[in-house]
Chain A
Amino acid sequence: MSVYDATPEEEISQAAERMAVRALAVLEAVEGTDAPRPDPVGASKPDLAAARVIGADLFAPYQLAAVPLCAELEEAVALAQAFQLFSAPDPSGSGADGSTAASAVAWRDWAAAELLDRCAPDPERVVPMPDRHLVPEDDFHWQEWSGWMAQLAPLALPGLDSPVHEAAQRHARALARGTVRSMLRRDYRTAARTARWLALGHSHGVHSPVDLAPLLRHIRLFGGPSARTALDLRVGERLSQEEGL
């Protein structure tokens, strides 16, 4: 018996970890590895909140393995419920305060809804592409921009495209600098997230200024037990192993 009740935030965080574990297991399953059966997605309120947090990454195994999306996927059912239960914020993408954090949420919602629509279109669910995308200008600071891109790591998947993706390809050096900065600050979670963008660029033939294989291996060994980070790593490893197009 637990000695204390978890806060709602802790419950959602734990559910998000479980969902990342499931995504890793699904990836192994669709890759044909002899893996244990993935746990169900779950339908509790924390589970559905976590589905919104994980967002597009619910479909990462299928996107990576090029498995067609369909309405019967547990992830699609849960995410559709999650969008009903927790409506998307201001679709302009800038949020009430115009903060970059709010715009990151809007972008993640867009990506999640975009993949969900490919499973099961729903005319009632309208999540337009945000118009705010912090595309680097001449005087931009790579620290801030790469930090923002780390928040958008679930978008770094095959099959998604947007001005954010185009910026990631044009500014690989800024992403690499941000990744190395996070590594040196021992912020391995953020490093794994920006490394995903570099890996996605690599899969499209964009040279990564930092060698990804040893970096991802280092995070795996030094980065702690987070399943969400493990998922970022797995996505990064898969993408960085793909031949550039």
Chain B
Amino acid sequence: MNGAVLSTAQRIGTQALSWLHDSAHFGALPATTVDFADPDNAYKPLGETALATSLVLREGVGRPAELQRSRELLDQAWAQLRHGDFLFERQLRHPMVTDPVETYAHFVRGGHRHAGLDRIAEHLSALASTRAVEMMPNRRLGVANAHRVIGSGRPRNWAELAADTWLGASPEPWMIDWMTGYNMTHTVFHLTDWAADPDGLPQPLAAYLQTWLPVWADVWQEVAQWDLLGELLIVDACLPEPVCDPRIWERLSQVQHPSGLLPRDAEPVTDDPRQAFKDHEHTAVVAVIASTLTLSRALGGTWSAT
């Protein structure tokens, strides 16, 4: 990957982070009551912002201003969640749900701790019941990785967890669809803890992705699925060596707005900034992560010489 491509990747991530930072007030939790039973309320974007910023801080390859913005966003989100009390209370009310622990892991990665959540996470991870909660296999990997990050989990059989996923089945690569594409990406994210441990991806899965990832990236680029394309670029950064066509970065750069907003797809972008944040916040998070991990691997990873 040459310097021009890395420069493009860096610019995309910097601008996306800037847009997230400037738009953060649209993602604040309501000042009144929050529905603890609804995991998809405003609290989900806070978790996604925490994920992206925690990775920027973990990798440390951003400029000082970006690290500063990431720290601010992460700390603001933590404050929004009342320094973890929100997650703690939601977990108390719903012991079988997993999103509090999954969200908490991002903040732990960013340097925050909540003693009550730590104790509960340790307890829950030891229960056969919570380990057997029925969910998508890639999500089960997500929960396992959250416990790994928190340090609360018992050792897991990662190979077994991986084998249960779509990706682990050596599937026909021509059967993948949009939703399966997202599931596949998350399998890779959690097995490698977001590129921190590329060896966490079993070798047969890495070899499979090295052959087929460029095809999927090509197809979803053609139909302007920028959000999924960004996720595929994160997968690329989790592989032993990148395999995707570097021209994809230029393509993303072309569709990114001057404000830093990266559209999730080819649909028109609303003029309403609140709705635009709701629609495209996830894509900005994806862009920040893809940019950060690609730069980090290039600068210090095994493929820095290419």
Contacts and interface: CB of A to CB of B under 8 A. Distances in A.
Contacts of A29: none
B172 A184 contact: no
Interface residues of B, number: 13
B211 A181 contact: no
B245 to A, nearest CB: 8
Contact of A209 (B211, B218, B245): B211
A198 to B, nearest CB: 13
Interface in B197-224: 211-212, 214-216, 218-219, 222
A181 B211 CA distance: 12
Contacts of A179: 174
A116 B162 CA distance: 54
Contacts of A142: 214
B218 A143 contact: yes
B32 to A, nearest CB: 46
B171 to A, nearest CB: 10
A231 to B, nearest CB: 21
Interface string A108-141: 0000000000000000000000000000000001
A141 B174 CA distance: 19
A215 interface: yes
Contact of B212 (A141, A143, A180): A180
B219 A185 contact: yes
A77 B172 CA distance: 43
A214 interface: yes
B56 to A, nearest CB: 33
A173 interface: yes
Interface of B is mostly: helix
B243 to A, nearest CB: 10
Nearest to A177: B215
Interface in A125-179: 141-143, 173, 176-177, 179
A176 B210 CA distance: 13
B95 to A, nearest CB: 42
Contact of B219 (A173, A181, A214, A215): A181
Q: On chain A, which size bracket covers the interface?
A: 10 to 19
B39 interface: no
A183 interface: yes
Interface in A197-222: 209-211, 214-215, 218
B174 A210 contact: yes
Nearest to A185: B219
Given A184-B219, A185-B219, A177 B172 contact: no
B111 interface: no
A214 B173 CA distance: 11
A177 B174 contact: no
B176 A177 contact: no
A132 to B, nearest CB: 25
A215 B174 contact: yes
A210 B176 CA distance: 14
Among A141, A177, A191, A218, max chain B CB count under 10 A is at A177
A214 B216 CA distance: 19
Contact of B211 (A141, A177, A191): A177
Interface in B209-260: 211-212, 214-216, 218-219, 222, 245
B172 A181 contact: no
Interface string B159-193: 00000000000001110100000000000000000
Nearest to B176: A184
A177 B219 contact: no
B306 to A, nearest CB: 13
20 contacts: A143-B218, A173-B211, A177-B211, A177-B215, A179-B174, A180-B173, A180-B174, A180-B215, A184-B174, A184-B176, A184-B216, A184-B219, A185-B219, A185-B222, A191-B174, A209-B211, A210-B173, A214-B172, A215-B174, A218-B174
Given A180-B173, A218-B174, 9 more contacts: A176-B211, A177-B214, A180-B215, A181-B215, A184-B215, A184-B216, A185-B219, A210-B173, A214-B172
Interface of A: 141-143, 173, 176-177, 179-181, 183-185, 191, 209-211, 214-215, 218
